A and B are shown apart, each in its own frame.
Chain A
């Protein structure tokens, strides 16, 4: 326990209606000393307005080049219980589904080897175990794999832990089996996840529909976004039920359609779709999920190059393959990934993401190297300049 009054600023954050992380740290501190030192060091950061973690430090488990983040306090004399306080990234099951048995096993292992603090979950998707001393890293990993059946996720210049939305497990919008695909590629590419093969990180995220609940287009080097070909499905009786219950279909759906593909016939009480105009934005389906559904021929749009700002600015993923069927064993996708990785690995500078490499060398070179034909769906508009040859 931290003595009363030692951490006044953090104590303040125990108040208020939103769940308090301070309360969680204090709760873990009833069983272990490390969380108490963490709280005191954090209080010092609140006072000093800077972090008190040192830069990096290479730690790991035998045979892997990633999955554990080294972390050392810059004031080890003052906070000896967090002098070394390393983090495990534990690869989550697809869609973040758990049994309580699995979670309890992880809790028991983490009680034996670590601080008892976790994140559900980290930004990449992993289950985060926050803070273990150096000597516990290998035994904790051994227990995670052998007793609980969990493995580490990715860190550093590796294939980062793939993640997926809830998909067909609990969403009627899912156009692909996001969970199976995520699980399959995670297992297929274990070597790339655990051992740095490239000059920088590579991320894959899988959303089942264009609502993109895992933010694939913003965050993944290879965003996979479920979609469909042909017309979306309309249940006219269910549409009428919405309208009869007072739903303003004209203003909330028809006039919001970005391509004016919908028309409401108020006399016949029928919603008409010009299927060739629909761009699959999901708005009408989101508004009337009981009446409208994606079409039956399902697959995904494959994009390339999403990333956060460092260093040359954030990039949204660019359309690479407008429509790909995605069914096990996903050979077409896996072959594509290997071709992309080969070209990227061959040409990229250190710490250059695939989007930055494409910008530097040109989309045309990239497409040629990976054997993809250009198509107009790849661009908003063709070039404006005459510097063509």
Chain B
């Protein structure tokens, strides 16, 4: 039994042209959406075809992907940090037949580069997670069907990164995306399992897990040690359920999604920043989440219409101001938008720089 062998050395996975030009790339161009051209110091050229995928793949589809890479790319390929597949060729005449093969055999779109919307980074949702407040794959599918043109065509002022996380744990790291969609619980854990509490959970760990000290000890009438929630203190973060299986927080009507906008991780022009709340809660409405899809589409279209060339969503909002953002998008501004958590004070305006 082998353990601790670690991952295979990436060098064994690299195509020859990359081994030869490793660290020697000079510049790149985007020839068209989804097609990159990299040129090395030695004049070698590499074409990359970026392909959107649903992230969840059957192994027979992975084998189809391998067949394409065997036929065109000498048996090499890579994936991006946003679930895209990348096929790489050195011969320009192979680019078009490769794209045709991708279209015919996989039916997956080519795009996602430059001023496109790239693939939506997302989480497991109802497919495979125990804490979600919404699904992930279904929400993503519904949004990308509607925003498909923005993946295959460069129609935006700048790149736009959308991410989806099915609860506040944010495995999808949505908290620095241009548009972040996050699953929201809005009811406290109401079905505490007193029978199994001490079998499944530790009381001190459960009490300590609560950021607002909303959980207190409780003994039932028949003497069972358990806990209760001070409901007005609960902020529905679900951290208690993560440490204690006896406190399920999911609720069919209470769960939904929130939309945050204007985050980024790149340092280009402006520092990395968190996105801010646009829509506090939209109900789960499977299978196509129409209210979520139209809310996201509205933000994308307003941004595409008003931002300057090269301006990320958050940079545009910072320039025109949040009152303008809410006016142009028609999203109502409510007391929910005013922060009351850690760091809230830094968000209250302390100037009279107002557009009146």
Contact = CB atoms under 8 A, between A and B. Distances in A.
Interface string A32-65: 0001001000100110111111111000001110
Contact of A100 (B25, B76, B151): B76
Among A48, A103, A187, the most chain B Cβ lie within 10 Å of the Cβ of A103
A356 B25 CA distance: 40
B262 interface: no
Interface of chain B, helix or strand or loop or mixed?
Answer: loop
Nearest to B77: A98
Contacts of A133: none
Contact of B2 (A94, A145, A287): A145
Nearest to B145: A16
Contacts of B83: 120-121
A107 B59 contact: yes
B286 A16 contact: no
A9 interface: yes
A266 B40 CA distance: 30
Contacts of B144: 18
B3 A27 contact: no
A95 B67 CA distance: 21
A137 interface: no
A15 B125 CA distance: 20
B342 interface: yes
Contacts of B77: 97-98, 100, 103
Contact of A174 (B23, B80, B85, B125): B23
Interface in A246-284: 252, 256, 258, 280-283
Given A46-B126, A116-B59, A293-B26, 20 more contacts: A18-B141, A21-B138, A46-B138, A97-B78, A98-B79, A99-B76, A107-B62, A111-B59, A118-B62, A119-B55, A122-B171, A151-B5, A177-B23, A215-B265, A217-B265, A217-B272, A281-B269, A283-B268, A290-B29, A312-B211
Interface of A: 9-10, 12-13, 15-22, 24-25, 27-28, 31, 35, 38, 42, 45-46, 48-56, 62-64, 71, 85, 87, 91-104, 106-107, 110-111, 116-125, 130-131, 142, 145-146, 149-151, 163, 165-166, 168-172, 174, 177, 179, 183, 186-187, 190-191, 194, 210-219, 225, 252, 256, 258, 280-283, 286-287, 289-290, 293, 308-314, 316, 349-351
25 contacts: A17-B109, A21-B127, A21-B137, A51-B132, A54-B130, A94-B7, A98-B76, A100-B77, A103-B65, A122-B171, A150-B8, A169-B14, A172-B26, A183-B9, A212-B267, A212-B272, A213-B81, A218-B175, A218-B265, A252-B309, A252-B310, A258-B270, A282-B268, A290-B29, A313-B341
